[in-house]
Structure 1
Amino acid sequence: KIEEEAYRYFDRIESMGGILEAVKNGYIQREIASTSYRRQKRIEDEKE
């Protein structure tokens, strides 16, 4: 399952024109921000 998800992620980046285009259009930054938010929320929820 993890491997399948990773390949789907790589395919998305390739469909954008590669990693440089993904960085230029803000995709990578949005993914980092989204993942960071979800992780922080999960940590805070565990403390409650």
Structure 2
Amino acid sequence: MGIQNVGALSLGQWIAIGRQWNKAHGGKPGAPSDDEFDAAVKAAKSLDSVQL
């Protein structure tokens, strides 16, 4: 994006960026299938058990 300090953006600039991103990337993503959702929940639970 080339902006060094993203905190300097106004709310209007963030909205414009979001709108253009959605246009370029096809809008809203679709909902996951039941199998995809179950796999994501299983993966998240396995990460909870990892000791750092």
Tell me whether the two structures share a fold, i.e. TM-score over 0.5: no
TM-score where L is the length of structure 1: 0.38
- Point out which structure has higher relative CO (alpha carbons under 8 A, 6+ apart): 1
TM-score where L is the length of structure 2: 0.35
Structure number with bigger Rg: 2
